Chains A and B, each alone.
Chain A
């Protein structure tokens, strides 16, 4: 149980284009979803927290107009990287929690984004 999927697993896009990453909780309803960014050989950096039906809360330093997050249903959240640049290339990982108390997070397999 508690499976989270991400799609796509990897994507290459050209500079200036936008790319959407989906995060789905497959066997539970996710009250809260999180988006992380991970640079090579580094830890996870929380980008934003989203609760179903409300606006995402972004961490300090994360551009909300560049990283658009939508949590439209209890099983789906999307991250759209707008006007992507090479510096946006990274490994993006989502996680989902079945309740608002965050002592259980289930992670997706990650999406490798490369911007050329």
Chain B
């Protein structure tokens, strides 16, 4: 079975400091990997995705993530955060099964940027 684990439920960080949000997955089949951001009372916005190719993926708002197959990880990083980055971040995997694709989300990490 496939699963996604976000190890930190909350991450407080000071403004302009770097941040890493951790995501590990478990899968017996090939997966596609995603990071989404959700602001209060809003839907999800795609930050970045890994489908294939280069393991370092750059996304919007200065975020990047690195796919590590051996460690089955897809951690999200930003070198310098802003107050506006305060939000909930979800890691997700997509995989093919029984003729269709499934999508599994992690439990989310609440990033709180402090002034």
Q: Do A and B bind each other?
A: yes
Residues of A within 8 A of B (CB): 4, 6, 34, 41-44, 46, 49, 57, 91, 93, 95, 100-110, 112
Contacts of B106 in A (CB 8 A): 43
Q: List 23 A-B contacts (CB under 8 A).
A: A4-B43, A6-B43, A34-B103, A41-B108, A42-B107, A43-B105, A43-B107, A43-B108, A44-B44, A44-B90, A44-B105, A46-B102, A93-B43, A95-B43, A102-B94, A102-B100, A103-B101, A104-B49, A105-B46, A107-B44, A107-B45, A110-B41, A112-B41
Contacts of B32 in A (CB 8 A): 103
Contact of B84 with A by CB under 8 A: no
CB pair A103 B41 closer than 8 Å: no
Contact of B83 with A by CB under 8 A: no
CB pair B42 A110 closer than 8 Å: yes
CB pair B100 A57 closer than 8 Å: yes
Closest to A10 in B: B41
Interface SS of B by simple majority: strand
Contacts of A107 in B (CB 8 A): 36, 43-46
Residues of B within 8 A of A (CB): 32, 36, 41-46, 49, 51, 90, 94, 96, 100-103, 105-108, 110
Contacts of B110 in A (CB 8 A): 41
A107–B38 alpha-carbon span in the complex (Å) = 10
Contacts of B44 in A (CB 8 A): 44, 93, 95, 107
Contacts of A108 in B (CB 8 A): 43
Selected from B41, B94, B100, the residue in CB contact (under 8 A) with A49 is B100
Contacts of B51 in A (CB 8 A): 103
- Output the least CB separation between B99 and chain A (Å): 9
